[in-house]
Amino acid sequence: MEPMKATVFHSANNIRVDEVPRPRAGVGEAVIRITLTTICGTDLHILRGEYAVKPGLVIGHEPVGVIEELGEGLTGYKIGDRVLVGAITPCGQCRACLSAQWAQCGHGEGVEALGGWRFGNTINGAQAEYLLVPNAQANLAKIPDELSDEQVVLLADIASTGFSGAESANIRIGDTVVVFAQGPIGLCSTAGAKLMGASFIIGVDSDPVRMTMAKRMGADIVLDPKQCDVIAEVKRLTGDGTDVAIEALGLQETFENGLRCLRPGGTLSSLGFIRANFRSHTTRLPPASAITKS
């Protein structure tokens, strides 16, 4: 079988570029030649052993490329098409998919497969010369000729995750929203909240560049946690707290602060990868707050 180069996980702190077999497309599948991909923060969690994957797995889940092979049963695509492939690869046919809950697709593999994300998690991923795309009819998006790979690559995961954080929170016109952390995903959450009609958006970050960018993406004000008590300031600005809090960092502290910023009955949308165990005092947080996970 023809080899290719790929970034392979072997063990914690041991990821190497190896030669592995090049994939071939079966029924309903496609193989794309990768032209651009990324290193996600999740890949760093995998590297450090904070998120377990099996040894020998090709990592990566944010691909842009060109269709190299098409399996039987696919329509609307041809060899040579430039395409984007999302990090979430739903089957397009199960209950979750037909209910527009694509991130919860079980792929027909049972409850343990719930969560949608497979590339670089349970199947070989995108940091490779070629990528096998399952259920390709539901998972390929053509790239318009006028857009470059660099302009669209964030849509595979970062932008879509950020926007889904706003969507999962069911933001309504006129809502107040606080977004913890204004990194790439947090910035996209801020933009998503603005697009969904939030009337007042509070960003939280201490990096001057990100604070400036947050305002460009839709934040009305950005609070620096090093300079103020964020919870007290949010309550002062909103009266009884925000309708929605979006946590886009992955720290227990920001998760808890997001809860404490909510009005009674508000909604927390959690996007970050929470590494710490919840301490017992979290049970004293506002009991009416609903938690959603995109």
In the chain, domain spans: 3-156, 160-293
Give the domain 160-293 fold. Answer: Rossmann fold (3.40.50)
Q: Which tokens go with 116?
A: 């949608």
* pLDDT attached to residue 288: 35
At 217-241, the pLDDT tens digits run 999 999 999 999 999 999 999 999 9
Residue 39 pLDDT greater than 80, yes or no: yes
Residue 264 reports pLDDT greater than 80: yes
- For the stretch 105-109, contacts whose Cβ atoms lie closer than 8 Å and that sit 24 or more positions apart, written own/partner, are 107/134, 107/135
pLDDT of residue 24: 97
As a whole number, mean pLDDT of residues 149-158 equals: 94
Distance of CA 255 to the CA centre of its chain: 17
Q: What is the pTM (predicted TM-score) of this model?
A: 0.81
DSSP structure class, residue 99: T
Do 3-156 and 160-293 come out as alike in CATH topology?
no
Class assignment of domain 3-156?
Answer: alpha beta
Please check whether residue 79 is in contact with residue 68, taking contact to mean a CB–CB distance below 8 angstroms.
Answer: yes
Q: At what angle do helices 230-238 and 252-260 cross, to 10 degrees?
A: 30
Query: pLDDT class for 294, splitting at 50, 70, 90?
Result: very low
